[in-house]
Amino acid sequence: MELKLSPADAAFQSEVRGFIRAALPGDIKAKVELGQHLEKDDYVRWHKILFAKGWVAPAWPVEYGGAKWTPLQRHLFEEELAIAATPRLMPFGLAMVAPVIMAFGDAAQIKHFLPRILSCEDWWCQGYSEPGAGSDLASLTTKAVAEGDDYIVSGTKTWTTLAQYADMIFCLVRTSSEGKPQQGITFLMIDMHSPGITVRPIRTLDGGYEINDVFFDEVRVPQTNRVGEENKGWTYAKYLLQHERSGTAGVANSKAQINRLKKIAARERAGGRFLIDDPDFRRQIAEVEIELQALEYTDLRYVMTAASGQPVGAETSMLKLRGTEIQQRISELLMQAMGPYALPYLPEAMEYGWNEDPVGPAVAPPLAPAYFNKRKTSIYGGSNEIQRDILAKMVLGL
């Protein structure tokens, strides 16, 4: 999709592009381009660079540290971040718990937590899924029992992304068993350094250590860390999931990955052949590009609707569903483009400094881990099967 930019928006895009090019550390850029592991310091360094510029949370209200940008400018900013191969800004604080605190938190919580999220003083993770409660989240069993001014929390959360780095976790806990399951859930913010919390890594198909089990053994949590009312957490959770699902569309990153795919397919093979010249492969690239353009239109409509203050409906489920499917398809085409080179899994290839070739065979080893890792995108944030059910009810009235 070609956006016709006004002179002001074109100048804004140029400013953003120039700043990112100058400010992004070279070692971080190389890691992202080659699909290598990023450490906590890599994410935090980039976060703090954008924070110092005032650009780390442009979608926030200005009074909390956001930028006076239009929805289109925020869209252009996301595109430039993806094109430049920057690390992702961790969404758990900036895009997930922060909007909940703004909408439902009290004045003390807003004053304490939002500045620490903005500056990356606190790294957040999400405590929703449990061993027996994934897409059926209302069946969660982690309990919080009131005792004086505290809650005593016991239970287990799982698939907790980057909990090994986290200072804080926002959790859904059960505070009542009366009525419907959704009616007894409370939203708590818990200090990950509290006594009684244990983090255990889960090794994923790609060999990485990105997700974890988190165990709570009678963890004491101040009731002042409860967001909103007791037993009303399901309402706040649904509000948060709208932000999470829209964020998983990943349009800008998918566009960058398609450009990467084209570069790999254009490299010369044996006998002077080029994969990009194969009609069938060109057709497959064209198909996924068309799907991505359609998704981008939907994403822009969602951004404009949300910015105008109008209620958002089925768009978040559409974005999550199609966005993750497109991400998975691109990862498949990248594997296909590299051919036999993509088959080996070399752990050392994920480490910084292993090789500097951005399109040749040396970039292939990280593709297999990335392919495996992308299998989970259609599951987290509410599985795509759940999103189809939501769309059937909201759009078709079934």
DSSP 353-383: TS---SSSGGGSTTHHHHHHHGGGGGTTTS-
Q: Are strands 143-147 and 185-191 parallel, antiparallel or unpaired?
A: unpaired
Residues 269 and 387 in one domain: yes
Q: What is the dihedral of CA 179, 190, 223, 138, to 10 degrees?
A: -10
Largest CA distance in the chain: 77
pLDDT at residue 355 greater than cutoff 60: no
Kindly report the backbone phi and psi dihedral angles of residue 120, in degrees, each rounded to the nearest multiple of 5, phi listed first. 65, 25
Residue 118 belongs to some domain of the structure: no
pLDDT band at 159, cuts 50/70/90? very high
Query: What does residue 168 show for φ and ψ, rounded to 5 degrees?
Result: -135, 150
Per-residue pLDDT at 393:
83
pLDDT number for residue 39: 93
CATH of the domain at 300: 1.20.140.10
Model confidence pLDDT, tens digit, residues 285-299: 999 999 999 998 888
Instruction: Answer with the residue of higher pLDDT: 380 or 151.
Output: 151
DSSP, residue by residue, 6-69: -HHHHHHHHHHHHHHHHHS-HHHHHHHHHT----HHHHHHHHHHHHHHT-S-TTS-GGGT----
Provide, rounded to the nearest whole percent, the portion of the chain with pLDDT above 90: 60
187 & 283 share domain: no
- Residue found under tokens 């037993």: 231
Strands 197-202 and 185-191: unpaired
pLDDT, tens only, 199-246 = 999 988 777 789 999 999 999 999 999 999 999 999 999 888 776 656
- Which of these is catalytic: 80, 130, 244, 315? 244
The verdict on residue 98 lying in a domain is: no
Judge residue 179's burial from the number of C-beta atoms within 10 Å of its C-beta, 0-12 exposed, 13-18 middle, 19 or more buried.
exposed
Residue 244 falls in the annotated catalytic set: yes
Tell me how far apart the alpha carbons of residues 291 and 322 are, in angstroms, rounded to a whole number.
8
* Cα end-to-end span (Å), the chain: 33
- pLDDT at residue 92 is higher than 90: yes
**Which pLDDT belongs to residue 353?**
58
**Between residues 364 and 246, the one the model is more confident about:** 364
Q: Which pLDDT tens digit goes with each residue over 31-44?
A: 898 778 899 999 99
What distance in Å separates the CA atoms of residue 68 and residue 98, rounded to the nearest whole number?
A: 18
Q: What is the pLDDT of residue 279?
A: 93
Same domain, 148 and 177: yes
Q: In this structure, are 349 and 283 located in the same domain?
A: yes
pTM, two decimal places: 0.84
* pLDDT higher at 50 or 337: 50
pLDDT of residue 36: 81
- Greater confidence (177 vs 250) lies with 177
Query: Domain range holding 367?
Result: 248-394
Identify whether the C-beta of residue 86 lies closer than 8 Å to the C-beta of residue 30.
Answer: no
Residue 308 burial by Cβ neighbours in a 10 Å radius (0-12, 13-18, 19+) = exposed
Alpha-carbon distances of 147 from 144, 220, 375, rounded to whole Å? 9, 9, 42
Model confidence pLDDT, tens digit, residues 110-156: 999 999 999 999 999 999 999 988 878 899 999 999 999 999 999 99
Predicted confidence (pLDDT) at residue 326 exceeds the cutoff of 90:
yes
Q: How confident is the model at residue 348 (pLDDT cuts 50, 70, 90)?
A: low
Question: Mean pLDDT of all residues in the chain?
Answer: 88
Q: Please identify, among 205, 231, 257, the residue that sits at the C-terminal boundary of a domain.
A: 231
Q: Is the pLDDT of residue 356 over 60?
A: no
- How far, in whole angstroms, is CA 84 from its chain's centroid? 18
Query: Domain holding 134: CATH number?
Result: 2.40.110.10
Supply the pLDDT for residue 233: 96
Residue 206 has what pLDDT? 73
Tell me whether strands 150-157 and 185-191 are parallel, antiparallel or unpaired: unpaired
Q: Is residue 363's pLDDT more than 90?
A: no
Given a cut of 60, whether residue 354 has pLDDT beyond it is no
Which structure tokens are listed for 30?
Answer: 């190389």
User: pLDDT exceeding 70 applies to what percent of the chain?
Assistant: 89
Same domain, 264 and 204: no
